[in-house]
Amino acid sequence: MRAMVLENVCDLSRERAPLRLADVPRPVPGEREVLVRVAACGVCHTELDEIEGRTPPAFFPIIPGHQAVGRVEENGIGAHRFGPGDRVGVAWINSACGTCGFCRSGRENLCASFRATGRDAHGGYAEYLAVHEDFAHPIPSAFSDAEAAPLLCAGAIGYRSLALTGIRDGQTLGLSGFGGSAHLVLKMAAHRFPRTRVLVFARSVSEQAFARELGAAWAGGHDGAPPEACDAIMDTTPAWSPIVLALGNLKPGGRLVINAIRKEDADKDALLCISYPEHLWMEKEVKSVANVTRADVTEFLSLAAEIPIRPEVQLYPLEHANEALMELKDGKVRGSKVLQL
């Protein structure tokens, strides 16, 4: 089968084609696994973190991709949840132990044995992938394959992040960064909290204009002067300086939720600018988001179909995965990027 494979971590400022198109063996589904013929796979900033070594893969060569949508081609021994032809999605959560305290309390995203699709197991930048049937998700008929793909990560992690902000209807929500996840959060917030004003802090004029198109009450730069302070801010940027600026835009008692698996080191000195009275005093909170649970994915897919939420997508053939990744690296983003097989 055709697949885009990563053979080593690398510096994307020098290497602009980190993935190689290869012909690799088609996976054979193991016990209680399903073989999925991939139709579409979202491209995520976490892939950049994998490639550049901030969250390195467990082995090489690895097939990235954790927003895969396709149809069940074959069942392994003991797999009965899905039948051939059923449409399913595979998200970041590939497996967890199921027995630890975190798993038993519904927090499998914190499990020490958490394994991620496309990092600890082969992912969806390929014509086929195999996954345990318990970690595959039925895809609502409301969405095309390409529309459904970003919902599996950008949507599900945005859903978890929005819940962690603790925002209430009528309060002011800030979105720091406006890529694949944040544009879905804006749509979700408009549905769930109709009296909430959403302020968007984005690095480019095009991203700011896109946010206003989708209903943001205000959009400006990270160092812009918003019309009011925020009760909560969700950060989806790869950098540190927006964190400092976001803390300065929080109301007393406000909460900053950081939706990022890792932060790049380029501007880490920005943290030296944190002033306790300005940025942290008055009971401000900072909370990180770690992975997603299966429940996050299932609940968000149901909510997205109910609203409905339709992501803005840019489509690329599988062999153009490097192009999509480099555009993401360079900040050329409008909605979500999706590989179409």
CB 108, CB 124: distance < 8 Å: no
Give the β-pairing of 250-258 and 230-235.
parallel
Domain that holds residue 260: 156-288
Task: Give the mean model confidence (pLDDT) for residues 209-224.
Answer: 96
Q: Are 51 and 172 part of one and the same domain?
A: no
Q: What is the mean pLDDT of the chain?
A: 96
Q: Are 16 and 130 part of one and the same domain?
A: yes
pLDDT of 266: 86
Q: What are the distances in angstroms from CA 117 to CA 7, 66, 91, 220?
A: 16, 5, 7, 35
Task: Give the mean model confidence (pLDDT) for residues 170-178.
Answer: 97
- Could you tell me if residue 293 is inside a domain? no
Q: Are 230 and 332 part of one and the same domain?
A: no
pLDDT digits (tens, 9 = 90+) for 56-104: 999 999 999 999 999 999 999 999 999 999 999 999 999 999 999 999 9
- Could you tell me if residue 295 is inside a domain? no
Give the β-pairing of 128-132 and 197-201.
unpaired
Q: Are 185 and 252 part of one and the same domain?
A: yes
List the CATH number of the domain containing 71: 3.90.180.10
Q: Are 191 and 242 part of one and the same domain?
A: yes
pLDDT of 163: 97
pLDDT digits (tens, 9 = 90+) for 260-296: 988 988 899 988 899 999 999 999 999 999 999 999 9
Q: Are 6 and 117 part of one and the same domain?
A: yes
- Could you tell me if residue 226 is inside a domain? yes
Task: Give the mean model confidence (pLDDT) for residues 308-313.
Answer: 92
Q: Are 190 and 219 part of one and the same domain?
A: yes
- Could you tell me if residue 210 is inside a domain? yes
Q: What DSSP assignment string belongs to 158-185?
A: HHHHHHHHT--TTSEEEEES-SHHHHHH
170 burial via Cβ count (<10 Å: 0-12, 13-18, 19+): exposed
Q: Is the pLDDT of residue 180 over 90?
A: no
How many domains is the chain built from?
A: 2
Q: Are 43 and 97 part of one and the same domain?
A: yes
Ranking 98-102, 186-190, 251-255, 331-335 by mean pLDDT, the lowest is 331-335
**H helix or E strand, kind and range, residue 20:** strand 19-23
List the CATH number of the domain containing 262: 3.40.50.720
Q: Are 13 and 135 part of one and the same domain?
A: yes
- Could you tell me if residue 146 is inside a domain? no
Q: Is the pLDDT of residue 301 over 90?
A: yes
Q: Are 121 and 183 part of one and the same domain?
A: no
Give the whole-angstrom CA distance, residue 144 versus residue 40: 9
Q: Are 281 and 330 part of one and the same domain?
A: no
Ranking 32-41, 154-163, 325-334 by mean pLDDT, the lowest is 325-334
- Could you tell me if residue 294 is inside a domain? no
Give the whole-angstrom CA distance, residue 82 versus residue 331: 38
pLDDT of 247: 97
Task: Give the mean model confidence (pLDDT) for residues 138-146.
Answer: 97
Q: Are 64 and 111 part of one and the same domain?
A: yes
pLDDT of 265: 87
